[in-house]
């Protein structure tokens, strides 16, 4: 590759072209995804709009600049294997873009749960004439003997060994492969007031994508008791769901949890497709929000307790001593350079 | 009004398990307010089959006082607590009828062992320092029933002396050595002990400590080697504070429940549904000896079951696998 700056410009141009409203391939992919009930139209639209806003504001160029990409820092010639999860639409976009932006050759294992959207983006980049290699497949076997230099994926303590073993067996990775494995599971919010803007942002941070994804809020710490906010809060949720009907339905285990909460007299709110409960336990079930009455000290205690399972802690702007926070309004609209598990793509 | 239910029903062989389970279900639904509310919230009032009985998540022993209200007799103040660090929320199991637990322990062991043949040695903390440990209480019962007086709690940190083994052999008895996994490994570390070939090691769990983590198979291999016994003489006990009955394995990974205990493997996505044989899920236990607390328990353990009703424990169900972006080979 002759010039990484030129490469960045080409990539940015291709991404902008991909996000043009007249991109018929992307439209087709959206239709197919919705037709096959993989994701809701509203969630896809939201994701694409958030990406467009980031890219229109020059975030690709800024990301390259922040990372110091240039003649002396790039990944040209490296083979990067990305295993994309499929829990949200285009959840693999950041890893794919970052890999390609760095000049590395991209090998993407696409999720069978999100097989169409990212392809249109990758095809647009291929057509742009950039020099990096781009290969993708929904079958891991297609990366046999790849011997990647770097592997990116999100996993858990139980899934990671199985994934690593399979990749080693296939020769997709070797003992020398750099592994970037994300294990954070959910985010938390610290809420100190009931301002409409704050509650609107909170509802979006909790309920967008049905609460899926590690940037979604699964636990709220607040000096306000949930029961005092309950009715008010439910109005906001209903208003959100009117515009963004929840696509996925919770498993029966949620009704079981509801019954358990009833049995032990734990305060809760059953919202048909979602459960809010006052509990300090690890929020293990999807479609569940844990509400914890408490102050900054309680937040710190829970941060310690949940450890690396926490992706991000959001506030509506308040600073908390000793805790790094992000704006609640950015929960589902992270900048391109946000660092999952605190690890940047270019480190 | 004071309520009661005849504890003999639990062990009565003339009544089918199904009949006993359904009777106890009705009793507990009616008189255990936590379990009653749980069933009501699930919309379960009448059941015809055992598998239709809802299993209460085991953390109810931590989150509530799980017992029959207004119980007529007896009125023991005994309770067991799970181990844990200070400040940790522990499970508490109220024991209304210690005799029932005692019967369950002895009858349970007698299902698989002739207790008259054995001297019980317990390499665990003693009874006086652990009055709320259900395991220590159980060991105390086994020790007290031994008429030879040779059964005992062993002093921790001290190797197993040959005199005691000689005494046991001279009485024509066999050794049954109880201990948690890490405790037994510590005992081997102190000094290699050669137990008589007909001895049984009874490992009571506790696989993970801050310094050791090994598979069950590795553990049993190490114990067999360390005590110079055939691997088939290393047995395991599956029990916990929340249960008043135990299951045992005999040199394999399959546990055999006692007759008044029934295991089912439940679907974590819907615990009302049983998993097919040999498929992983949450271990559900119906322990009829939990007559005065709750007999229908959904544990936090992961396991599988075979067609004979035996089961394997595959570790703790890890809730952290459920949430977040998680790449899974078979799904993604």
Q: What CATH number is associated with residue B140?
A: 3.40.50.12780
Please report which confidence band the pLDDT of residue B57 belongs to, taking 50, 70 and 90 as the band edges: very high
B253-272 burial: b if 16+ Cβ within 10 Å, else e = bbbbbbebbbbbbbbbeebb
Domain housing B34: 7-69+260-305
- A256 near B CB under 8 A: yes
**How confident is the model at residue B215, as a pLDDT?**
82
Please report which confidence band the pLDDT of residue B221 belongs to, taking 50, 70 and 90 as the band edges: very high
CB–CB contact B326 A85 (8 Å): yes
pLDDT exceeds cutoff 80 at B211: no
Same structural domain, B51 and B157: no
pLDDT exceeds cutoff 80 at A194: yes
Those residues whose C-beta lies under 8 Å from the C-beta of residue A150, and which sit 6 or more positions away, are: A75, A78, A79, A80, A81, A104, A177, A178, A179, A180
Same structural domain, B121 and B231: yes
pTM of the model: 0.91
Smallest Cα distance from B296 to chain A, Å: 13
- Listed in sequence order, the DSSP H helices in chain A are 4-18, 24-35, 41-56, 59-67, 93-101, 117-127, 159-170, 196-207, 226-243, 253-263, 296-306
**Average pLDDT of the segment spanning B182-211:** 84
Same structural domain, B199 and B293: no
Domains of chain A: 4-183 (3.40.605.10), 186-330 (3.40.309.10)
Same structural domain, B56 and B114: no
- A154 near B CB under 8 A: yes
The tokens describing B255, both together, are: 């546990």
Those residues whose C-beta lies under 8 Å from the C-beta of residue B178, and which sit 6 or more positions away, are: B120, B121, B122, B123, B124, B139, B142, B202, B204, B237
Same structural domain, B232 and B278: no
pLDDT exceeds cutoff 60 at B320: no
pLDDT single digits (tens) A100-109: 999 999 999 9
Return d(Cα B302, Cα B315) in angstroms, integer. 6
Of A227, A210, A213, the closest CA to residue A292 belongs to A227
Same structural domain, B126 and B244: yes
CB–CB contact B332 A158 (8 Å): no
Smallest Cα distance from B66 to chain A, Å: 9
Instruction: Indicate if the alpha-carbon torsion angle B61, B65, B69, B72 is positive or negative.
Output: positive
Q: Is residue B296 part of a domain?
A: yes
Please report which confidence band the pLDDT of residue B73 belongs to, taking 50, 70 and 90 as the band edges: low
Q: Is residue B312 part of a domain?
A: no
Please give the residue of chain A at the shortest CA–CA distance from B38: A263
Q: Is residue B75 part of a domain?
A: no
**How confident is the model at residue B182, as a pLDDT?**
87
**Average pLDDT of the segment spanning B234-259:** 96
Length of chain B: 332
- A112 near B CB under 8 A: yes
A79-117 burial: b if 16+ Cβ within 10 Å, else e = bbbbbbbbbbbbbbbbbbbbbbbbbbbbbbbbbebbbbb
Same structural domain, B115 and B24: no
Q: Is residue B74 part of a domain?
A: no
User: End of a domain among B220, B253, B286?
Assistant: B253
The tokens describing A23, both together, are: 């991109």
Please report which confidence band the pLDDT of residue B74 belongs to, taking 50, 70 and 90 as the band edges: low
Please report which confidence band the pLDDT of residue B325 belongs to, taking 50, 70 and 90 as the band edges: low
A198-230 burial: b if 16+ Cβ within 10 Å, else e = bbebbbbbbbbbbbbbbbbbbbbbbeeebeebe
Give the least confident one: A177-181, A226-230, B167-171: A226-230
Smallest Cα distance from A260 to chain B, Å: 6
Q: Are strands A150-154 and A178-182 parallel, antiparallel or unpaired?
A: parallel
Per the structure, the count of domains in chain B is: 2
Q: Are strands B174-179 and B296-305 parallel, antiparallel or unpaired?
A: unpaired
Measured CA angle at A186 (ends A120, B323), to 5 deg = 75
pLDDT exceeds cutoff 50 at B210: no
**Maximum average pLDDT range among A10-19, B67-76, B207-216:** A10-19
Q: Are strands B92-94 and B79-81 parallel, antiparallel or unpaired?
A: antiparallel
Contact call for residues B239 and B255 (beta carbons, < 8 A): no
Instruction: Classify B101 as helix, strand or coil.
Output: helix
Same structural domain, B240 and B111: yes
User: End of a domain among B253, B287, B321?
Assistant: B253
Q: Is residue B48 part of a domain?
A: yes
CB–CB contact B321 A184 (8 Å): no
Same structural domain, B19 and B106: no
Same structural domain, B200 and B266: no
pLDDT exceeds cutoff 90 at B4: no
Please report which confidence band the pLDDT of residue A193 belongs to, taking 50, 70 and 90 as the band edges: very high
Same structural domain, B172 and B62: no
Four-point Cα dihedral A221, A223, A228, A229, nearest 10 = -50
Return d(Cα A263, Cα B31) in angstroms, integer. 13
């Amino acid at each position: 590759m002759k010039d990484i700056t030129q490469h960045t410009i080409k990539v940015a141009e291709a991404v902008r072209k991909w996000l043009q409203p007249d991109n018929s391939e992307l439209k087709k992919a959206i239709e197919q995804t919705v037709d096959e009930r993989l994701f809701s139209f509203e969630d896809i639209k939201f994701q694409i709009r958030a990406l467009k806003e980031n890219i229109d504001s020059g975030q690709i160029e800024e990301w390259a600049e922040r990372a110091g990409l240039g003649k002396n820092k790039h990944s040209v010639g490296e083979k990067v294997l990305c295993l994309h999860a499929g829990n949200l639409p285009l959840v693999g976009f950041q890893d794919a873009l970052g890999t390609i932006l760095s000049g590395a050759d991209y090998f993407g294992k696409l999720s069978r749960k999100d097989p169409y959207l990212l392809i249109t983006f990758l095809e647009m980049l291929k057509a742009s004439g950039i020099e990096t290699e781009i290969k993708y497949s929904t079958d891991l076997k297609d990366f046999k003997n790849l011997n990647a230099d770097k592997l990116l994926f999100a996993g858990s303590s139980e899934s990671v060994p199985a994934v690593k073993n399979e990749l080693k067996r296939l020769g997709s990775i070797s003992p020398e492969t750099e592994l970037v494995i994300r294990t954070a599971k959910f985010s938390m919010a610290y809420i100190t007031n009931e301002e409409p803007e704050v509650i609107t942002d909170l509802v979006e941070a909790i309920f967008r994508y049905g609460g899926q994804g590690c940037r979604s809020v699964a636990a709220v710490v607040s000096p306000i008791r949930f029961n005092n906010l309950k009715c008010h809060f439910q109005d906001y949720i209903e208003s959100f769901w009117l515009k963004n009907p929840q696509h996925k339905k919770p498993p029966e285990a949620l009704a079981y949890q509801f019954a358990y909460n009833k049995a032990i007299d734990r305060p809760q709110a059953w919202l048909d497709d979602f459960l809010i409960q006052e509990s300090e336990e690890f929020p293990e079930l999807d479609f569940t929000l844990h509400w914890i009455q408490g102050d900054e000290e309680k937040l710190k205690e829970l941060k310690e307790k949940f450890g690396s399972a926490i992706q991000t802690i959001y506030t509506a702007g308040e600073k908390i001593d000793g805790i790094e926070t992000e704006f609640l309004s950015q929960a589902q609209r992270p900048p391109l350079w946000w660092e999952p598990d605190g690890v940047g793509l270019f480190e | 009004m004071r309520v009661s239910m005849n504890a003999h029903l639990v062990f009565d062989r003339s009544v089918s398990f199904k009949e006993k389970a359904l009777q106890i279900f009705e009793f507990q639904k009616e008189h255990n307010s936590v379990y009653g509310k749980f069933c009501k919230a699930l919309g379960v009032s009448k059941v015809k089959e055992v598998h239709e009985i809802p299993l209460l998540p085991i953390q109810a022993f931590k989150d509530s006082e799980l017992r029959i209200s207004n119980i007529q007799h007896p009125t023991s103040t005994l309770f067991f607590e799970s181990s844990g660090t200070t400040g940790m929320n522990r499970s508490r199991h109220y024991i209304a009828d210690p005799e029932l637990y005692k019967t369950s322990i002895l009858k349970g062991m007698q299902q698989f062992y002739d207790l008259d043949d054995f001297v019980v040695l317990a390499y665990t903390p003693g009874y006086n320092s652990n009055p709320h440990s259900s395991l220590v209480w159980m060991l105390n019962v086994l020790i007290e029933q031994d008429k030879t007086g040779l059964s005992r709690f062993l002093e921790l940190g001290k190797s197993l002396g040959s005199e005691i083994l000689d005494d046991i052999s001279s009485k024509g008895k066999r050794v049954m050595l109880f201990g948690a996994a890490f405790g037994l490994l510590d005992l081997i570390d102190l000094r290699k002990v050669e137990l008589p070939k007909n001895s049984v090691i009874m490992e009571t769990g506790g696989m993970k400590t801050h310094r050791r983590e090994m598979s069950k198979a590795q553990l049993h291999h190490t114990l067999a080697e360390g005590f110079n016994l055939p691997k088939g003489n290393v047995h395991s006990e599956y029990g916990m504070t929340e249960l008043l009955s135990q299951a045992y394995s005999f040199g394999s990974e399959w546990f055999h429940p006692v007759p008044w205990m029934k295991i089912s493997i439940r679907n974590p996505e819907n615990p009302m549904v049983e998993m097919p044989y040999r498929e992983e899920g949450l271990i559900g236990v119906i322990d009829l000896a939990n007559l005065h607390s709750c007999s229908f328990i959904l544990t936090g353990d992961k396991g599988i079951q075979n067609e004979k009703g035996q089961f394997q424990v595959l570790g703790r169900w890890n809730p952290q696998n459920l949430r977040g972006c998680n790449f899974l080979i078979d799904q993604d």
